[in-house]
Structure 1
Amino acid sequence: MNRNRTAVLITCYNRKTKTLACLEALFNQALTPEITLDVYLVDDGSTDGTAEAIQQAYPQVNILPGNGHLFWNGGMRLALAEAIKQDYDYYLWLNDDVILYPKALTTLFATSGHLAEQGDVRSIVVGSTQDPEQGTLTYGGVVQEYWWHPLRFCLVQPNETVQRCNTINGNCVLIRREVVQVVGNLDPALIHYLGDYDYGLRAQNQGCSLWISPGYIGTCPLNQTSDSDQRLQEQLKQMSGPKGLPLKDVILYSFEEWKLFSQRYGGSLWFIYWLLPYRRLLKGWLFSKLNIKLTRTFGR
């Protein structure tokens, strides 16, 4: 019997209840006997007892301590580096706020296996998640939205068939060994959100294929957005942080990280694409200045 040894990679910080729920759904997966799961979980300095609770409930989980400054990309990079030492057949990225449906992994493995039968052994398969209350699409595979804008992506609605995509949200992703052998680990130059997009694009550029599995594999709520009424100084401070400034329809990353990403994938016009997202802050600043001037001139 051919066994599929799979390393499940998770990183967490102070979300004990969510992390335990994620693990419960993971260990309740309806899997065939040839699939084995080894979990590598990075606890990045949680102070809410996450590591202790996991150790008690799921002693088989390999808990890797972080330094408190890893965030998503650093935590997943640490977990993957440790798992690579054991040369697994598959590597599964899993966010700790994802609740997998009982047959989620069966769908992912079946999709990857079907692609391999067709000769595509360097494949990445991403699962789509939906909001637990609204049922709307939250994360999954993304494609380039406009032909003229290589850095503008949009989510692809899953259907009953396998679909191609350009890159991925890292919430639930199944990666074959052959891909990791070519692409390697996540980029240490990135901190949080852009690590998954970068990995998918690097994989595509190195001859790997990216696919969206059929249907939804579980639930995952959208990250909260920032208050658009924040003062410019507050917005700039948040944008410079590891998680950037998440607005309603876009995340404004730090200047340095977005510049690196733009240079890699923006082509000869990367400088324009680098600056485009920040026009929102400039527009808000101009409106606030205009409003102040009109108030002083005409009164309230």
Structure 2
Amino acid sequence: MKQANLAVIMTCYNRRNTTLTCLHALYQQKNHCDVYLTDDGSSDGTAEAVKEEYPEVKILQGNGNLFWVGGMHLAFGEAIKNQYDYYLWLNDDTFMEANALSKLLQIHQNLTEQGYPDSIVVGSTKDSMTGRATYGGAVKSKNWYSNKFEFLQPSSIIQKCDAMYGNCVLIPKSVAAKVGNIDTAFVHSLGDLDYALRAGKLGCQIWVAPGYVGTCTKNSIRNSWADTNLNILERLKKVLDIKGFPLKSWTIFCSRHSGAFWIFYWFLPYIRAIIGYKNLAISPTFSEDINQTNSEV
């Protein structure tokens, strides 16, 4: 396979050591890449440390209010201007295995040869301590009444899926040309799920790579809207927060992707925040980034 022209898309905020560890693992890959990193106003010296250790990284400066979607939108948009063959979304707390990038690229080449060039390839991650799967792809629940996306356990073979976490995602230029950038109608959550669903509607395929591409610790539900140790008012405040289901973004998402009866799904996270959601094996809204709590669609 010829050397691919590849851009890596990242955003970070006040996780200097984590960001540096992620970049270290990235630069161990055999494939050359250009890194576009949005530093969203970090106060811990992240940008300065990256400049010192990895001067080739293209750092874009945020104002502290971009969050995950805004940061990724800024970096992705800058990279798209240069028309790369591939774009890799990479969370700065995702540490890639040495052959991960080659693996994802080879899978896309195989899919292209099989007649699926407009394919997104999703890499699954696992917890470095427990070995349990944490992030990757997801499939829509088969229950007719459900708008839930369930995590798809990686296997030894490639699997088709409906949606994805944005932790480690390979997007070819043909998909980027069709779908465009991450939609800033979303701020912190829902942007990656929306991107996947828009891609599917435009005829693109989404596939989960076999096995794991690296490690990433799963975010805790503690102190989130799903934490039943908090009182009702605290949970309501958090579910309406940028890192939960803010009214405007959630309304756009539901009206866009939840069918004619979307208003019924719109109420669910707020009802669950009020009554206390007991089932904490939650399927996520898939924006797994800077200190974000998972939640169910």
Instruction: Identify the residue that residue 92 of structure 1 maps to in structure 2.
Output: 88
- Give 3-state SS (helix, strand or coil) of 1:21's partner: helix
Q: Which residue of 1 aligns with 2:271?
A: 279
Match in the other structure for 1:154: 150
The amino acid across from 2:19 in the alignment is T
Aligned counterparts of 1:38 and 1:282: Cα–Cα separation in 2: 45
Cα deviation for residue 74 of structure 1 reads 0.5
Establish whether residue 190 from structure 1 lines up as the match of residue 197 from structure 2. Answer: no
Q: Which of 206, 214, 220 is 2:202 aligned to?
A: 206
Whole-angstrom distance in 2 between the partners of 1:156 and 1:195: 19
* Alpha-carbon distance between aligned partners in 2 of 1:280 and 1:203, rounded to the nearest angstrom: 29
CA distance in 2, matches of 1:150, 1:207: 23
User: How many residues of Structure 1 are paired with residues of Structure 2 in the alignment?
Assistant: 273
Aligned 8 A contact 1:142 1:153 in 2 = yes
Q: Measure the CA separation in 2 of the matches of 1:195 and 1:216.
A: 23
Corresponding position of 2:214: 218
Aligned to 2:281: none
1:72 to 68, 83, 88: 68
Query: How far 1:2 sits from its partner (Å)?
Result: 4.1
Q: In structure 2, which of residues 93, 117, 131 is the aligned counterpart of residue 121 of structure 1?
A: 117
- Give TM-score, length-normalised by structure 2: 0.89
What is the alpha-carbon distance in structure 2 between the residues aligned to residue 279 and residue 3 of structure 1?
50
Is structure 2 residue 56 aligned with structure 1 residue 60?
yes
Contact 1:129 1:137 survives alignment (8 Å)? yes
Q: Is the 8 A contact 1:138 1:220 kept in 2?
A: yes
Secondary structure, aligned partner of 2:123: strand
Please name the residue that 1:21 is paired with. Answer: 21
Letter in 2 for 1:189: A
**Equivalent AA in structure 1 for residue 87 of structure 2:** Y
- Residues 239 and 270, structure 2, Cα contact 8 Å, conserved in 1: no
Greater fraction strand: 1
Q: Give the aligned partner of residue 108 of structure 2.
A: 112
Task: Quote the sequence identity (%).
Answer: 49
Contact 2:186 2:249 in 1 (8 A): yes
- Alignment of 1:143 with 2:139, yes or no, is yes
Q: Name the SS for the 2:77 alignment partner.
A: helix
Root-mean-square deviation (CA), in Å?
1.5
Q: What do the CA deviations read for 1:115-137 (whole angstroms, capped 9, x no partner)?
A: 01112111100000001111111
SS in 2 for 1:260: helix
2:260 is the alignment partner of 1:268: yes
Q: CA deviation at 1:276?
A: 2.1
Query: Structure 1 length as normaliser, TM-score?
Result: 0.88
CA distance in 2, matches of 1:101, 1:58: 19
Query: 1:238: which partner in 2?
Result: 238
Which of 244, 250, 258 aligns to 2:250? It is 258
Contact 1:14 1:50 in 2 (8 A): yes
Gaps of 5+ in 2: 278-297
Could you tell me which runs of 5 or more consecutive residues in structure 1 were left unpaired when the two chains were aligned.
245-252, 286-300
The 1-side partners of 2:249 and 2:229 are apart by: 25
Does structure 1 retain, via aligned residues, the 8 Å contact 2:123–2:212?
yes
